[in-house]
Chains A and B, each alone.
Chain A
Amino acid sequence: MLAIFVRRILIAIPVLFAVASITFFLIKIAPGGPFDADRAVSPQVLKNLNEAYNLDASNWEQYLDYMSALMQGDMGPSFRFPGRSVTEMIATGLPVTFELAFYAILIALVMGIFSGVLAALKRNTFLDFIPMAIAMIGICVPTFLMGPLLVLIFGINLEILPVSGWGQLPGDKILPSLTLGFAYAAYIARLSRGGMLEVLNQDFIRTARAKGLTERMIVIKHAMQGGLIPVVSFLGPAIAGLLAGSFVVETIFQIPGLGRFYVEAAFNRDYTMILGTTIFFSAMIVFFNLMSDLAALWLNPRSRDL
């Protein structure tokens, strides 16, 4: 267990280093400088700007400077928002995005596991078909359509929930969290149904039944531990997907989170911001994948020596 953990960390470090380097040089070869704005800048101003942002050094020097600053958590100044550093902007956006992702995962897990386990237990009845049909809808209706539809129904027609914002009006966190969580609830429902069906046919469940345990005990204590392993392994990749989903949801609901900052930086060609967030997102996702793999290992002792 510890050996696997150490080995994975040892792989993760050079990977992140490579990601940072590749992104850095990709941005260097991007056509157009960061200050090719709509209005022309006088040569003197441009020179000062380049000096201020250390752009007159050679690419190699800039790279070394950037990497050594990165080690200390400094991702340089934003090109578009003078006076704000990238690290600072990530620090303001991150809590918002985390909160959104947390509610979304919570909704996805509760809805998904509940309906998936129920569907597996009541196989081939209405309690199986209806949740699975809804799950199919959740998979086929993309977030960028689900969000606006929810806004249209609950925000504009029924006028019961705010249509945008985060933490300003009561209930304005409901629609974004639902939008983001619903697609994952659908996947989790399908995964937990599949996993439960597989486990419920196994011998140890029959033994548990023969021992005279109650059905509730069998499901909660014995079946779910094995049946939900696919869900746990899915959580790592799901976090990566949640991130992409947060781009959309934060844009639709105008939430000042990291996802929206990233999309705006992409539009404004705020290169330092793009570079910083890319590295940060990569690190986060590598970390969450690691965690979800370890959790799956912990739940399934048989795969430990693989």
Chain B
Amino acid sequence: MVKSKIKGFIVNNNSLWSDAIYRLSRNKAAMFGGVILILLIISAVLAPWIAPYSYSYQDLNLGASPPSSEHLLGTDILGRDLLSRILYGARISLLVGFVATGVALVIGVSWGIIAGYIGGKVDSIMMRIVDVLYGLPFIIFIILLMVIFGRNLWLLFGAIGAVEWLTMARIVRAQVIGLKNQEFVMAAKAMGVSNISMFRRHLLPNILGPIAVYATLTIPQVMLLEGFLSFLGLGIQPPMSSWGTLIKDGVESMEEYGWLLIYPGVTFTITLFALNFFGDGLRDALDPKTSDN
């Protein structure tokens, strides 16, 4: 795609993606974030096998004990192994991050493509709806839904996803409008390509870059939102643990047992750092023009 010749001299013979991967691999902060993310995802997936104890196994005689060789990160007030709870918590926190972002992606991308491609009245109505929804305090509606329908994990995914799609819809729409008038799209239209395959074959592949970038930057926001709800006691319910609930438990006993706050807090923060660095790096790699530097 980026095949360009200047004075007969081949400058760049790579595709957009391999070019982006090359640039990404040169960005140390992004690579660092990426490695941490991969490690986290692997350990979350393998949690049942690598966690030293079950997340709900209690050793009440032990109570809250500081880090030791038996319990690398110590135990909580019910004698549960903190490392195991953080590993199992990673499953929930990352799952919320990915699934809710997925929900946001599906809604946002479809909304944006339809509005941008059809244009006219449909577009202005659809985007006006987005504008109106933007101005509402969605956090309150998530809390409302959790209160009314119970604190259900899938409802949480859906509710967070249903909130985070708005920006995605705007980004996708702007991209589609830019593409719509290009020759290859007109050619495809002239050849009688149906709307569905127009979206799938011609529009979607060309906007994957911005979508990937925005999705990576949505995941930490979603995880923050889940942490926020769980911290207030309105998200994940015990005995399941997410990082938000672990931080909440840590805060309750932080005066005596500081490690119960510090370790989950550090894990959460490092993950958010990693996601933000990786997302920023991906943005710079795919579109060097928008880079801050």
Using a CB–CB distance below 8 Å, which chain A residues touch chain B?
A: 11-12, 15, 19, 23, 26-27, 29-31, 136, 139-145, 148-149, 151-152, 156, 194, 240, 243-244, 247-248, 251-252, 262-263, 266-267, 269, 274, 277-278, 281-282, 285-286, 289
Instruction: Please give, as numbers and ranges, the residues of chain B lying within 8 Å of A143 by CB-CB distance.
Output: 228
Measured between alpha carbons, how far is A262 from B292 in the docked complex, in Å?
39
Q: Could you say which residues of chain A place their CB within 8 Å of the CB of B185?
A: none
- Contact across chains for A281 and B228 when beta carbons are under 8 A apart: no
Q: How far is the CB of B20 from chain A (nearest CB, A)?
A: 22
The answer on a CB contact under 8 Å between A140 and B148 is no
Check B233–A142 contact: CB distance below 8 A: no
Residues of B with Cβ closer than 8 Å to A? 132, 134-137, 139-141, 143-150, 220, 224, 227-228, 231-234, 244, 247-248, 250-251, 254-255, 258, 261, 265, 268-269, 272-273, 276, 292
Choose one: A12, A194, A252; the contact of B251 (CB below 8 Å): A252
Query: Is A266 a contact partner of B143 (Cβ separation < 8 A)?
Result: yes
Check B137 against A243 for contact (C-beta < 8 Å): yes
> Given A140-B273, A145-B265, A266-B143, do A240 and B148 touch, yes or no (CB 8 Å)?
no
Question: In the docked arrangement, what's the CA distance between A145 and B266, Å?
Answer: 9
CB distance from B121 to the nearest CB of A (A): 17
CB nearest to B266 among chain A residues: A145
Number of A-B pairs whose CB atoms are under 8 Å?
A: 111
Q: Could you pull out 11 A-B pairs where Cβ atoms are within 8 angstroms? A: A11-B132, A136-B276, A141-B269, A144-B228, A145-B247, A152-B255, A251-B232, A269-B147, A281-B137, A285-B137, A286-B136
**Interchain nearest-CB distance for A293 vs B (Å):** 9
Q: Is the CB of B255 within 8 A of A156?
A: yes
Would you call the interface of chain A mostly helix, strand, loop, or mixed? Answer: helix
- Assuming the contacts A144-B228, A148-B254, asked whether A274 and B147 have C-beta atoms less than 8 A apart, the reply is yes
Q: Are B232 and A248 in contact (CB under 8 A)?
A: yes
**Cα A141 to Cα B268 with chains together (Å):** 8
Looking at the assembled complex, report how far the CB atom of B27 sits from the nearest CB atom of chain A, in whole angstroms.
Answer: 15
Question: Contacts A144-B247, A266-B143, A281-B137 given; 11 further ones with Cβ under 8 A?
Answer: A27-B148, A140-B269, A140-B272, A144-B227, A144-B248, A148-B254, A152-B261, A244-B228, A266-B146, A266-B232, A278-B144
Cβ–Cβ contact A145 & B268, under 8 A: yes
Interface pair A145/B269, CB less than 8 Å apart: yes
A281 touches B132 (CB 8 A): no
What CA separation (Å) do A156 and B255 show in the bound complex? 7
Distance, CA A263 to CA B147, complexed state (A): 10
Contact across chains for B137 and A26 when beta carbons are under 8 A apart: no
Q: A142 is contacted by which of B145, B149, B224, B261 (Cβ under 8 Å)?
A: B224
Contact partner of A286 among B135, B232, B254, CB < 8 A?
Answer: B135
CB distance from A238 to the nearest CB of B (A): 12
Q: Is the CB of B232 within 8 A of A263?
A: yes
